[in-house]
Structure 1
Amino acid sequence: MSMPLLPGEPTRLGRYELLGRLGEGGMGTVYLGRDRDGRKVAIKMVRPEFSSDVEFRGRFRSEVSRARQVPPFSTAEVLDADPDHDPPYLVVEYVDGPSLATVIREQGPLPASALHGVAVGIATALSAIHGAGVIHRDLKPGNVLFAMGGIKVIDFGIARPFEATSQHTRTDQIVGTVAYMAPERFDPENGRQVTSAADIFAWGVVVAYAATGRTPFAADSAPATAMRILTQPPDLSGLPGSLRDLVDRALVKDPEQRPTARELLDVLLAGDTPQAGVTTAVAEAARTARDGFRETGGGPGKAQTAARPDGKRRRRLLTAAAAAAVLVVLLGAGLARLNSPGADGDDPDGSQGASAPAAPSPTTTRPTSTAPDPDASILQGSRRTLIHLAEIDRDLALDYHSYEVEAADGTGMRSQFVLVPTGVDYLIRSLRGEGRADNPETCLGVKITPDKPSSLVAAECVPTRATLFSLSPTGARDDKNRRTYHIYNEAYGFVQWSTERKAVFVEEVGDATPSASFSLVDRGAL
């Protein structure tokens, strides 16, 4: 349903009469229009600030050219575009039908039979889109419409602000809806390697949402959702067995381990029982590739062991994936709307529905997976852990009578810690004095020493700039095949090890790669 035009808005654009507004998004306004022959169309008019950008117009032109090659049977057909108009605009088929988000909001999760049809319809659309060399980049329930004849996927890969997925790129901007973004989307450096596999991840999230009314990484904020996507397995409880294994495989962290759209279709059309041969193979692949953190695959940015981002860009990953940079890039730049991460609304940037309400965050339910993430409970703050310094086979330790952190043999309570989630960062609480009557609660913090590297020391367990740390997966494993992380303080830098001084310190590494990596060793429940 369209809304009336606002005072001062144009009533014509090129040869099209503008009848009303369908919505407004980060890159422009979408109008309901009418062609000279009376056919209704959807017209996306680009914001004026992009009109003068030659780089944007080049990207606009190249993507429209590819999108014209997408078969229109399950997508909104591209009808016209004028990248040289001021402002540029795009004309697509107007799909007069409710979005998946609207259907779920008004009727609840889909029954199994309808769910399977939606999964097939979206996979079919992605197969067509990817076959034309286009990446959707913003697949979500608001962009999946129920039309006469079946499912239509709209708003794909055209006329978006800059993102590191083509030759027209800027690495400091990210486009999309956080709850449906693949892990690799949060790494500005490795964003250059984002492929159609990101759409497969979004397919898995959309199907899970259609089945349960919530997204599988739902949290109470967009940064918290991003962190769950990066570090935790999906919650697939409530998903029927006929789809659970396939969705599980689509949601692995490593994009190279996800099926293609064509492979999704092959499995979906082969049968709907998890015991079917091809589905069983999918289940086995999902178990093998569970979180995508393999020695040969890497973490969210894919194959980081081969070419890790430099220090500045790695810091951008940490903050973009975990906290403020996600919000600054997506909201401050005005390029994308962060829908509630627990559910999805219809982004007005091309869809014809209304926003869905936020679904409750599954804070009391532990995510379900065929192969649980061994670090998940530690990262949730429910387990004791050693913080193992992989390069020298030692563990961080804070002796009861000591002020500075050292590397030790991992014995005793001085080497046991608890990662306490605090927003999207962590307090690292020491258990050195557990059981003592005179035990003050102690966390790790950064102490600045003039003319010397900053020290990692005992501090009061209060969230401050000095006591909050982020963990960023390196994509590598230690000698016990445990996932490794860089530990980073936003204000002061990375936790490092000095071979010369035999000391732990904190360093702002600049353009260099952090030299120290850490793994988490489970030491039991609290």
Structure 2
Amino acid sequence: MHTPLRPHDPRVAGEYELLGLLGEGGMGAVYLARGRSGRPVAVKIIKPEYAAQAEFRGRFRSEVNRARQVPPFCTAAVLDADPDHETPYLVVEYVDGPDLAEVVTGKGPLTGGDLHGVAVGVATALVAIHGAGVIHRDLKPRNVLFALGSPKVIDFGIARALESTSEHTRPDQMVGTLSYMAPERLDGKAASPAVDVFAWGVLVFYAATGRTPFAADSPTATAVRILTAEPDLDGLTGDLRDLVGRALHKDPALRPTAQELLDMLLAGDAPQATAVVAPVKPRFSRVRVAAVAATTLALALGVFLGMRPGQDNVVVAAVPSPSPSPSVISVADPLARPGKWKQTFADDHSCDFDEDGLLIVAEEHNTEDITCPGPTTAFPGDHAIRVTLESLSEDACAFVWFRYDGRSGYQLSICNDSITAAKYEPNGDGSTVSSTDLKMDYTARHLLGIDVAGRVATFFFDDEKVLTAVIDDPALTGGRVGLGMIQTTEDGGAVRFSHFEARSV
């Protein structure tokens, strides 16, 4: 929802026409806007008093650059930014939907699969954010959105530009929301990823009960309870209660990491789903891990959102999609180190890891397609796959296996000028099922998607549907997923993947 522009609001920011006000907070205001393409976007314009400080502009620039490193499939993409504008601004993908506070207030606390979906989804978002070296700093229900379509995380980390600039914060000021602040932040210590884990614990408890575990009669009393008292977790039971309790430990070193949270959540049995609390259309989340309906951190909505004048609430938040069913099967791997996929080295090729992902390299004169050793999890029915293609040399094609039994299956291959779906037989022979031209920047990062539903597979490239194929072999109704590379010349080639996610739907 947006409100009309006020007399003092700007009408343009760079090439963007401002259409309405989405929200306003301590750092600035967020506007619904339209660019040259006509696509709606969210534009955050920084307050003039901050823009006047060179230190702030420098930090803003560096934090925008850092935010761009968070994988695009789990974020509302950073589309544009101008730190040197008269009033610096940031442009992100526009996302819409009710927030978690509205859902809990209107329909009551979440239970069963709905609650588990929020817990997993927010943890998933934190894994992706922390993996890019960013700290959320203000995770709270107003920033957890139930959006139509894919969950997106936005504006994470930009708060640091304000919090780290001494001219804009005093020792008794910080960016965030008191009830969700970790004790070390109230003690004036530097923020670490552990503060987001603490906020995750508070948020999950709120989702389950409609209250926070350190609530008191005044802000001062709440702060004292956060610093000194054990959390009141009445109303939360089972393994989730234990995990929330660990996330709320006073000592940040004793809290799980976001990845450990996610691993423990996915290792347990998914609770039985209850009635859906918000009318959202199911769709596969492009967040780093599947198994969940995912989450979005959202400034773009303008719930920048849900802020009130004078609050230093800046970044944030995750949006759960619909709840996972008890039978959800998932595979997720950031591909930053050996995990679901393993290293392998041969005379003429290798599958190895660097800081940017799984790197597949073929030496000169390699004649075989390379499938890197990966997960053995089989998807017996419909499922969805998302993976980021980080780079592709001119003489190589990347491919993704699905409904693969180790000898035969279906394969999506992406080359510099085409995208092709093919079926491979046990003897290795392949036959094209569907293909189309594709003009791509082989040096850029691209999101690949495959939605498998019955006898049809739909393929996406950077969120755009580019191809469909009939996959009706009765012997290939389920199977594994995989990653690999096809060398197209004798000169060698390379492909890099990152942030793989697949789940049953």
The amino acid of 1:108's aligned partner reads G
Equivalent residues in 2 for 1:489-508 (5 A)? none
Residues 28 and 96 of structure 1, relative CA distance in 2, 3 Å threshold = same
Cα distance, 1:51 vs structure 2? 0.7
Report the TM-score when normalising by structure 1: 0.51
Q: 1:197 aligns with which of 194, 197, 203?
A: 194
Equivalent residues in 2 for 1:219-234 (5 A)? 219-234=216-231
Is residue 266 of structure 1 aligned with residue 226 of structure 2? no
Instruction: Compare the two structures and name the one with the higher strand fraction.
Output: 2
Secondary structure at the aligned position of 1:30 is classed as strand
For 1:511, the equivalent position in structure 2 comes to none
Could you list the per-position Cα deviations for residues 278-329 of structure 1 after superposition, in whole angstroms to 9, with x for gaps in the alignment?
xxxxxxxxxxxxxxxxxxxxxxxxxxxxxxxxxxxxxxxxxxxxxxxxxxxx
Residues 6 and 352 of structure 1, relative CA distance in 2, 3 Å threshold = farther
Cα distance, 1:163 vs structure 2? 2.2
The amino acid of 1:59's aligned partner reads R
Q: C-alpha separation between the residues in 2 aligned to 1:352 and 1:246? A: 19
Equivalent residues in 2 for 1:220-299 (5 A)? 220-272=217-269
Residues 149 and 121 of structure 1, relative CA distance in 2, 3 Å threshold = farther
Cα distance, 1:170 vs structure 2? 6.3
Equivalent residues in 2 for 1:403-418 (5 A)? none
Equivalent residues in 2 for 1:16-95 (5 A)? 16-95=16-95
Q: C-alpha separation between the residues in 2 aligned to 1:15 and 1:5? A: 17
For 1:493, the equivalent position in structure 2 comes to none
The amino acid of 1:43's aligned partner reads V
Q: C-alpha separation between the residues in 1 aligned to 2:116 and 2:166? A: 33
Q: C-alpha separation between the residues in 2 aligned to 1:89 and 1:212? A: 37
Equivalent residues in 2 for 1:275-354 (5 A)? 334=310, 336=312
Residues 165 and 118 of structure 1, relative CA distance in 2, 3 Å threshold = farther
Q: C-alpha separation between the residues in 1 aligned to 2:249 and 2:166? A: 24
Residues 74 and 231 of structure 1, relative CA distance in 2, 3 Å threshold = same
Q: C-alpha separation between the residues in 1 aligned to 2:45 and 2:149? A: 28
Q: C-alpha separation between the residues in 1 aligned to 2:220 and 2:161? A: 21
Q: C-alpha separation between the residues in 2 aligned to 1:352 and 1:135? A: 13
Q: For the Cα contact (< 8 Å) 2:140–2:317, is it kept in 1? A: no
Q: C-alpha separation between the residues in 2 aligned to 1:243 and 1:152? A: 24
Secondary structure at the aligned position of 1:113 is classed as helix
Secondary structure at the aligned position of 1:147 is classed as coil
Residues 150 and 209 of structure 1, relative CA distance in 2, 3 Å threshold = farther
Could you list the per-position Cα deviations for residues 411-452 of structure 1 after superposition, in whole angstroms to 9, with x for gaps in the alignment?
xxxxxxxxxxxxxxxxxxxxxxxxxxxxxxxxxxxxxxxxxx
For 1:118, the equivalent position in structure 2 comes to 118
Q: C-alpha separation between the residues in 2 aligned to 1:38 and 1:234? A: 48
Q: For the Cα contact (< 8 Å) 1:44–1:350, is it kept in 2? A: no
Cα distance, 1:39 vs structure 2? 1.0
Q: 1:209 aligns with which of 199, 206, 213?
A: 206
Q: C-alpha separation between the residues in 2 aligned to 1:164 and 1:228? A: 26
Could you list the per-position Cα deviations for residues 471-524 of structure 1 after superposition, in whole angstroms to 9, with x for gaps in the alignment?
xxxxxxxxxxxxxxxxxxxxxxxxxxxxxxxxxxxxxxxxxxxxxxxxxxxxxx
Equivalent residues in 2 for 1:123-202 (5 A)? 123-149=123-149, 151-159=151-159, 162-164=162-164, 171-188=171-188, 190-191=189-190, 194-202=191-199
The amino acid of 1:264's aligned partner reads L
The amino acid of 1:147's aligned partner reads A
The amino acid of 1:136's aligned partner reads H
Residues 140 and 88 of structure 1, relative CA distance in 2, 3 Å threshold = same
Cα distance, 1:172 vs structure 2? 5.0
Aligned length: 284
The amino acid of 1:125's aligned partner reads A
The amino acid of 1:336's aligned partner reads D
Q: C-alpha separation between the residues in 1 aligned to 2:116 and 2:92? A: 27
Cα distance, 1:224 vs structure 2? 1.3
Q: For the Cα contact (< 8 Å) 1:99–1:352, is it kept in 2? A: no
Equivalent residues in 2 for 1:473-484 (5 A)? none
Secondary structure at the aligned position of 2:42 is classed as strand
Cα distance, 1:240 vs structure 2? 3.2
Cα distance, 1:9 vs structure 2? 1.6
Cα distance, 1:100 vs structure 2? 1.0
Could you list the per-position Cα deviations for residues 146-170 of structure 1 after superposition, in whole angstroms to 9, with x for gaps in the alignment?
1234544443111556325999986
The amino acid of 1:23's aligned partner reads G
Give percent identity, aligned residues only: 68
Is residue 8 of structure 1 aligned with residue 26 of structure 2? no
Q: For the Cα contact (< 8 Å) 1:175–1:336, is it kept in 2? A: yes
Q: C-alpha separation between the residues in 2 aligned to 1:238 and 1:46? A: 41
Q: C-alpha separation between the residues in 1 aligned to 2:89 and 2:261? A: 33
Q: Give the greater-gyration-radius structure (CA).
A: 1
Q: For the Cα contact (< 8 Å) 1:161–1:175, is it kept in 2? A: no
Q: C-alpha separation between the residues in 1 aligned to 2:203 and 2:312? A: 18
Could you list the per-position Cα deviations for residues 249-278 of structure 1 after superposition, in whole angstroms to 9, with x for gaps in the alignment?
00000001111111111001101389xxxx
Gaps of 5+ in 1: 275-330, 338-346, 354-526
Q: For the Cα contact (< 8 Å) 1:217–1:225, is it kept in 2? A: yes
Residues 232 and 181 of structure 1, relative CA distance in 2, 3 Å threshold = same
* Alignment RMSD (CA, Å): 2.9
Secondary structure at the aligned position of 2:91 is classed as strand
Q: For the Cα contact (< 8 Å) 1:143–1:155, is it kept in 2? A: no
Q: C-alpha separation between the residues in 1 aligned to 2:316 and 2:255? A: 28
Q: C-alpha separation between the residues in 2 aligned to 1:249 and 1:43? A: 37
Could you list the per-position Cα deviations for residues 21-73 of structure 1 after superposition, in whole angstroms to 9, with x for gaps in the alignment?
01110010111111111111111110110011111111111111111010133
Q: For the Cα contact (< 8 Å) 2:153–2:318, is it kept in 1? A: no
Residues 111 and 181 of structure 1, relative CA distance in 2, 3 Å threshold = same
Secondary structure at the aligned position of 2:87 is classed as coil
For 2:399, the equivalent position in structure 1 comes to none
Q: For the Cα contact (< 8 Å) 2:32–2:41, is it kept in 1? A: yes
Report the TM-score when normalising by structure 2: 0.53
For 2:472, the equivalent position in structure 1 comes to none
Could you list the per-position Cα deviations for residues 93-126 of structure 1 after superposition, in whole angstroms to 9, with x for gaps in the alignment?
1111111111111111112210101111111110
Secondary structure at the aligned position of 1:110 is classed as coil
Q: C-alpha separation between the residues in 2 aligned to 1:151 and 1:215? A: 24
The amino acid of 1:2's aligned partner reads H
The amino acid of 2:83's aligned partner reads P
Secondary structure at the aligned position of 2:118 is classed as helix
Secondary structure at the aligned position of 1:145 is classed as coil
